[in-house]
Amino acid sequence: MISKQLSVFVENRKGRLEEVLNVLKENGINILSLSLADTTEYGLLRLIVNDCNKGKEALTKSGFSTLLSDILIIKISNISGSLDETLKVLSKNDISVEYMYGLSVDGTKASIVIKTNDILKTDGIFTANKIETIGIEEI
Amino acid sequence: MIWSKEETLSRKEIEEIQTARLIETVNRVYNNVPYYKKKMDDVGLKPEHIKSLKDLSKLPFVTKQDMRDTYPFGLFAVPKSQLVRIHASSGTTGKPTVVGYTKNDMKMWTEAVSRIACMGGATEKDVAQICFGYGMFTGALGLHYGLENIGATVVPSSTGNSEKQIMYMKDFETTLLVATPSYALRLAEVAQEMGIDPKKDLKVKIGLFGSEMLTDAMREEVHNFWGKDMMVTSNYGMSELLGPGVSGECTELCGMHINEDFFIPEIINSETGEVLPEGEKGELVVTCIKKEGIPLIRYRTKDITRLFYEPCKCGRTFARMENLSGRSDDMLKIRGVNVFPSQIEEVIFGFSELGPHYEIIIEREGFSDKLTVRVELLKNTDSFTELEALSKNVRARLKVMLGIDAKVMLESPNTLQRFEGKAKRIKDLRNVK
């Protein structure tokens, strides 16, 4: 199941990240997970939120450059080696991972956000290999 | 439409008018302005030495410094009681420069601007919204009188409160916009934010732009926002000479016609002062030959352009000056290389991923200059690869254009400063402690 991620372009400037978070707060948007990657001049804040359309609209209105992109949230066993197994399936099928980040961990399961070069194909591969993907509302 | 018959006189007729008016003006300033008398006496020149246009180059130049040295009225050729209007420049870099107009000067100014408005396609049917700041600045009132004179409906909305400007534009069905090119872009941006598409929802079909250089790249950008069929022309002037009305582009878009019965243009090498032949690029020098209040002789404009004298397709015979390619004092020397901001602008406008606003910062790091260009990102992306590629491409294009390396900083949309008058996009921090 393909989910949406909200990405925001953030300059490396004091207080800039806080401005993004403030807009989300003002609009009652809840962040479920995030990843912040940066270069020396700017960063990309990638967010999984409860209402990505509303989040995008609010941030765009406040002058941020935003984008909704397709990602997959996989739920795998919380044991050593399970992520390795999952990625092997992808590389065997000639899929490359662009980035991923952790979402949540409970007793037996771990959820991970994953972005690949071909999300549609990846979704099919996961289904075929019985790797569980979940939607944002199931988190 | 051609406003007045003078615009189509033969070269011979134009030169006859210019010769007579030059001789008359030189006599008048010599007798009425002690500063000019001294300047001419210092080089052994008497009014009777000026007999033809060829003698013009014997006269000493006048610069902005002369105006400051004689602040406020030292270069005036009439008693103050004969003035009906005073304007002044902002004076950000020193004392303001003060200019004054007699009743006849006001008539001449109105006539000069009427011609320029018609060159740009204006008619009595137009609703002309003037988005220049009213006040001591000559731009707004100059265009105002000229446009009223040709019978257009003038909306003197001035600058500021851009939402209200758009509301007037929509409700009054404005067809002609007077603004700086950068404010025209800002207004389009504000309209879009209000859910109004300038191309479809507004009726603006003519842009009479001035007070800022209009590069080809900027014209293209204006078309992108306001529509392909908008007639975008540039006109030229400065308060020292008159205000707007010195020259303007006609709808053939092949340079700005100079009102040659009021002004004599020359092009000089700005380092040696030597007069250059037709077609060569250099600093524009202008002599006012129909002004009473403050008729400047051989005023150095610091604007860089070329002159062409062959008649234009539009039927006008007045000389044309090429759209400005820079100002001699705009030129930045960065690591010993001459850089014009317009070159940087051209590169930025070439990228559809970037917005039309930018800022140029020059700093000193150790013994070397560092050039940074801040631009706004229009493309939405979540890929570092794309962002890196974009900033690398912009940098590479700047390097080709300027010959020096620049740092490119991507910013969110709407973070850079917007301007209502002349844009100030350069921050030279090299001499700031």
Alpha helices in A40-132 (DSSP H): 52-61, 82-92, 119-128
Interface of B with A in 374-393 (CB under 8 A): 377-384, 387-388, 391
Domain ranges of chain A: 2-69, 70-138
CB distance from B409 to chain A under 8 Å? Answer: yes
Q: Which of B380, B388, B413 sits opposite A63 (nearest CB)?
A: B413
Q: Which of A3, A42, A65 is best to mutate for the B interface (most B CBs within 10 A)? A: A65
pLDDT at B430: 82
CATH of region A70-138 = 3.30.2130.10
Total number of domains in chain B: 2
For residues B192 and B226, what is the distance between their CA atoms, to the nearest angstrom? 11
Quickly state the pLDDT bin for A132 (edges 50, 70, 90). Answer: very high
Question: Which whole-number Å values give the CA distances from B351 to B2, B221, B232, B389, B395, in the listed order?
Answer: 38, 11, 21, 12, 12
Distance of CA B348 to the CA centre of its chain: 21
Region A17-33 average pLDDT = 95
What mean pLDDT, rounded, does chain B reach? Answer: 93
- CB A41 to CB B384 under 8 A? no
- pLDDT at residue A32 is higher than 60: yes
Residue B433's pLDDT band (cuts 50, 70, 90): very low
What digits encode the pLDDT tens for the residues B131-151? 999 999 999 999 999 999 999
Q: How do residues B155-178 score in pLDDT, each as one tens digit?
A: 999 988 999 999 999 999 999 999
Same domain, B318 and B369: no
Q: Which domain holds residue B175?
A: 1-325
Lowest mean pLDDT among B98-102, B328-332, B348-352, B379-383: B328-332
Q: What is the pLDDT of residue A68?
A: 94
Q: What is the pTM of this model?
A: 0.78
Query: With contacts defined as CB-CB under 8 Å, which chain A residues touch B381?
Result: 7, 9, 65, 67
Buried b (16+ CB within 10 A) or exposed e, B291-311: bbbbbbbbbbbbbbbbbeeee
Tell if the CB–CB gap between A64 and B381 is shorter than 8 Å.
no
Q: What average pLDDT does this structure show over B118-133?
A: 97
CA distance B118 to B409: 42
Please state whether beta strands A132-133 and A66-77 pair in parallel, antiparallel, or not at all (unpaired): antiparallel
- The answer on B247 and B370 residing in a single domain is no
Mean pLDDT across the stretch B413-428? 86
- Is residue B268 pLDDT above 90, yes or no? yes
Instruction: Tally A–B CB contacts below 8 A.
Output: 49
B381 and B300 share one domain: no
Q: Which residues of B touch A48 (CB under 8 A)?
A: none
Q: Is A36 an 8 Å CB contact of chain B?
A: no
Question: How close A108 comes to chain B (CA, Å)?
Answer: 31
- Does B392 score more than 50 pLDDT? yes
pLDDT of residue B91: 60
**pLDDT confidence band for A130 (50 / 70 / 90):** very high
Residue in chain B lying closest to A5 (CA) = B382
| CATH code, domain carrying B175 | 3.40.50.12780
Task: For domain A2-69, give the fold.
Answer: VC0802-like (3.30.2130)
Minimum distance, in Å, between the CA of residue B381 and any CA atom of chain A: 6
Whether A11 sits inside 8 A of B409 (CB atoms) is yes
How far is it, in rounded angstroms, from Cα B307 to Cα B277? Answer: 9
Confidence band for B358, pLDDT divided at 50, 70 and 90: very high
* Chain A residues within 8 A of B383 when measuring between CB atoms: 98
Considering B303, B325, B347, which residue would you say is the last residue of a domain? B325
Helices (H), A3-134: 16-26, 52-61, 82-92, 119-128
Of B275 and B369, the one with more pLDDT: B275
